[in-house]
Structure 1
């Protein structure tokens, strides 16, 4: 027999770590263990901003939110939001004479997927029913909007895309109440 030809006995006498079937059988379980370790590490070290810690408080707050939405509807409130350069202007209109014109408004902007981009903007009154604020950073894309007065007794919420050439109109009837 020639030295270059390997016999069945030579293959069987090789050490275990030189056997191809051993590595083939170890490869898939080893890859799944590695994947599980990576997935568990990411899950433990990454905090999800979409999850609410205290569901009972959130549930109790729903009734208060619905009352705020209902008051905005009863007052016939409507807000027109316009953006120019780095400035936001909100024109607040009411069909009711019982609305006390607030000194400022609070506009909360919620990004649909990135909680770190959420903002709270205080708009100062420049004339009756007209409010302005300077905005830092970019307001591009889709946002959830929540507009309220300083006492937070009413709220108008909706959705809009920035930059909006024709403005964004918020009405209490546009909100999802269920």
Structure 2
């Protein structure tokens, strides 16, 4: 029997089903390329290359924190200008032995490319100043003398205010280096 009905045959590329079936694998290929691009282009800031060396320096850091407590060192950090100037007022038990310069480390919690290390010059009377790239958001701050004998650390959320207080305090659980911003947080 010869059936010559009204069946029309179209080419495969004119049918919607092959294209719909190819859409899934094509989307996976595009997603894989985008993921590979992001993995190569971005920096994983949470992984430390020298984690072993950092672990060995924990006792050294604790000794420097203890030294700041022994000297009763307190610091007030103030952002000025358009956020590109910083002034530090340093107070210690022995005001005559204040260092000639301070080093301020400002580190972003997740993006090490934004970290800054500043040398602050003495202006006299326990006041130090320097320039920095304007800050926004949350930052880890470490202030130390130029000889690295003591240090104060804290966390600064810039949006809470341009003022940060740093000091080392003794607690029942041990030494704690504290920080509070303008609103006492």
What is the TM-score with the length of structure 2 in the denominator?
A: 0.75
Q: CA shift at 1:107, angstroms?
A: 0.9
Distance 1:59 1:89, change over 3 A: same
2:103 is the counterpart of 1:103: no
The aligned counterpart of 2:153 is 157
Contact 1:146/1:156 (CA < 8 Å) preserved in 2?
yes
For 1:47 and 1:142, the matched residues in 2 are separated by 19
Runs of 4+, deviation exceeding 6 Å: none
Secondary structure of 1:28's match? Answer: helix
The aligned counterpart of 1:131 is 128
Superposition pairs of residues 10-29 of structure 1, within 5 angstroms: 10=8, 13-29=9-25
Q: CA shift at 1:73, angstroms?
A: 2.0
The aligned counterpart of 1:112 is 109
Q: CA shift at 1:41, angstroms?
A: 2.4
Range moving further from structure 2, 113-122 or 28-37: 113-122
2:163 is the counterpart of 1:167: yes
**Gapped regions of structure 1 (runs ≥ 5):** 1-5
RMSD: 2.7
For 2:161 and 2:65, the matched residues in 1 are separated by 27
* Superimposed CA distance per residue, residues 117-159 of structure 1 (whole angstroms, 9 cap, x where no aligned partner): 32122111122422122x2542344322110001112110112
For 2:162 and 2:10, the matched residues in 1 are separated by 77
Range moving further from structure 2, 13-22 or 163-172: 163-172
For 1:43 and 1:129, the matched residues in 2 are separated by 46
For 1:57 and 1:76, the matched residues in 2 are separated by 29
Name the structure with the higher strand share: 2
**Gapped regions of structure 2 (runs ≥ 5):** 170-175, 179-185
The aligned counterpart of 1:142 is 138
